[in-house]
Structure 1
Amino acid sequence: MNHSLVSIIIPSFNREGLLSEALDSVLGQTYANWECIVIDDRSTDGTNTFLREYSKKDGRFIIISKPEEFRRGASVSRNLGLQIARGEYIQFLDSDDILSDDKLEKQIYTLKNEDKKVISVCITSNFKEKKDAVIFDSDRKDFRDFNNPEEYFGVISEFGGYYPPESFLISKELIDFSGHWNENLTLNDDGEFFFRIIHNSNKILFNNDTFVRHRQNTGDNLSMLNSFQKANSLLNSWKIIEILYNTKYNASNSKYLDKKKWAVYNELKRTYPILIKENKLFFFNQKKRDNFLFKLDKLKKRVNLRLKNIFKY
């Protein structure tokens, strides 16, 4: 059995009411060789006091109060955690999510004979309250192994996005090779980070024998463009992703990039159209398709009007 140290990194801000559920799930792990680094992002409620008290239960908890010279934000907190982490493997966990008791044990076993560029992911169960039933979506097409990143990107181009952060178990070596979290992004920082991780991986191994519980929020990334800064961050994240994708694959033939950029284009068109105007080259194909669909819609309306007039008599 591989007894590698796992560093669990939890960023937290004003989560006094939910943190115990996440920390209890860490404390209950059947795999014992872990350290849990919780970075309190200068919370204004009782989070820090709660963390100090909770950490007395077990010396494997490391509580960090983010110094004033560090910017606020989850990406900054995670990077601070990575600087401190001593583990061979990294488990990211949001402060309101939950790990199943055997999550680390099962994934460490999966990776025991693999090189450090192999990722393990597991089943995700979405929930709102801890008492909610644990329900799995057995039809998800990404709930399987992938032999290479391109195969994975092809599958998720058809139906959705990445696994949630807590689903992954990743070697520190792969994270250091791929680069840490981009602290300049205020939206889709997780999408951009995990793209780099998957992009640089050799394969993805899926654990169907363990799970994480991912707390559902009311909105998603595209519905959170409530500021120009966030909209610009979303745009920049996809510029980075496209550049990196092109280093291995042909972006012009990618269904994955085409679908994702189309979704971003339509949201920016609705919220901050100036960003489309300022990034004509990046959105060239999307603008071309949009113009075609606009003309097609006008043509359909004309034809329908003529048919209506014909059958009126």
Structure 2
Amino acid sequence: MKDLPLVSIIIPTYNRAKLIPETLDSVLAQGYKNWECLVVDDGSLDDTDKILKKYCVKDFRFKYFKRPHDRLPGGNAARNYGFELSKGKYIQWFDDDDLMSPNKIENKVRSFLEDNVDLVISKSKYFNSEAEFYHYAYTAKDISFESFAMGNVSWVTNDFMISRDIAKDISFNENLRAGQEYNYCCKALLQTSRISFIDKFLTLRRDNQDSIGSNRRLYKLKHFTSKFNAYWLNYIDISNLTKHKKFERFSLITCVSYYLRSRNRIQIPSSFYRRLIKVFGYRSIYFFLARLSNFFFGKYYYFYKRFKGVK
């Protein structure tokens, strides 16, 4: 076992005492044995600490930490803190209510070693629902910064394992409340193009109607605001790293779309207008016309199409 690379499984958690035992049991069931599992508590008020202490006694590979008080609350800070404490050559991010297939880690490590890559992607599906999950209609050749950033390929946090050599130079944006993995993976894909894709369902995802994302989508304005902020903050973050014109246009168009769908109720940062004019030039006038039309008539699509450059 000592000859196999150590894998760090990092799980942020918050008030999941009733669900996390299933997740940890699925980690214990891994055929690949050289792992450490770092669970970082984001301030749980239930019995999470009691449960984790039992697992730490049961198996020394489990390690339980609490997010320091000087770090921002939220899963992003918990993930970053977990990474700082981890020792593995490969990093597997995971959620506290989902399950690993027994061969998940083994499949990922084999791909790292055989394919000589920095990032390994697999697939997820629901285990407690007939609802449709993501479409994984792509191959490794289709994956790039541009294809991911513009939504042509996609995956969730549990789907990717990353080498420490890449992960040490990036982090989760702790100011983001949504779109965390999108931002993280955009940064990772700017670092490497050595990627493999395993066309297997290696994560069993829980369809949790009580999740933060599900509750947010119940309230349209909150959902639109969350999406606007995610794409805007990601745009600011990534545009500091690369000047990719297609990405810039895509991100700002997406922000405009959510703003107009909110009926102009999202509070726009002042710097947004400057960025819009810089990237779109004279076509920015169509955004302002769409905004006025939306305000007076509740319609905006005519001007929005022209803003996008669609006739």
Q: Shorter-chain TM-score: what band?
A: 0.7 to 0.9
Alignment partner for residue 184 of structure 1, among 172, 175, 189?
175
Corresponding residue of 2:7: 6
Instruction: Supply the distance in 1 between the matched residues of 2:130 and 2:66 (Cα, whole angstroms).
Output: 34
Contact 2:93 2:157 in 1 (8 A): yes
Query: Alpha-carbon deviation of 1:77?
Result: 0.7
Correspondence 1:289-308 to 2 at 5 A: 289-290=286-287, 297=302
Structure 1 pair 132–28 and aligned structure 2 pair: CA distance change class (3 A): farther
Instruction: Supply the distance in 2 between the matched residues of 1:203 and 1:134 (Cα, whole angstroms).
Output: 32
Correspondence 1:1-313 to 2 at 5 A: 3-115=4-116, 118-125=118-125, 127=126, 130-132=127-129, 140-142=136-138, 144-146=139-141, 149-150=144-145, 153-154=146-147, 157=150, 159=152, 162-177=154-169, 179-216=170-207, 219=213, 223=217, 226=222, 232=229, 234-246=231-243, 250-251=244-245, 254=246, 257-269=248-260, 270=262, 272-275=265-268, 278-284=271-277, 285=280, 287-290=284-287, 297=302
- Matched residues, number: 282
Aligned residue for 1:35, secondary structure, equals strand
Structure 1 pair 149–233 and aligned structure 2 pair: CA distance change class (3 A): closer
Larger Cα-atom Rg: 1
Greater displacement, 27-36 / 280-289: 280-289
Query: Alpha-carbon deviation of 1:287?
Result: 4.2
Query: Alpha-carbon deviation of 1:78?
Result: 0.8
Structure 1 pair 220–203 and aligned structure 2 pair: CA distance change class (3 A): farther
Tell me which amino acid in the other structure corresponds to 1:176.
K
What does the per-residue CA deviation read over 1:237-293, in whole Å, with 9 as the maximum and x for residues that have no partner?
2222234341xxx41xx2x55344322222234264441665113234384454677
Identity of counterpart residues, as a percentage?
24
TM-score for both structures, normalised by structure 2: 0.77
* Structure with more relative contact order (C-alpha pairs < 8 Å, separation 6 or more): 1
Aligned residue for 1:275, secondary structure, equals coil
Aligned residue for 2:102, secondary structure, equals coil
Contact 2:128 2:206 in 1 (8 A): no
Q: Superposition RMSD on alpha carbons, in Å?
A: 3.3
Aligned residue for 2:268, secondary structure, equals helix
Structure 1 regions of 5+ residues with no counterpart?
299-313
Structure 2 regions of 5+ residues with no counterpart?
294-299, 304-311
Tell me which amino acid in the other structure corresponds to 1:47.
T
Instruction: Supply the distance in 2 between the matched residues of 1:245 and 1:221 (Cα, whole angstroms).
Output: 34
Instruction: Supply the distance in 2 between the matched residues of 1:67 and 1:291 (Cα, whole angstroms).
Output: 44
TM-score for both structures, normalised by structure 1: 0.77
Tell me which amino acid in the other structure corresponds to 2:65.
I
Aligned residue for 1:146, secondary structure, equals helix
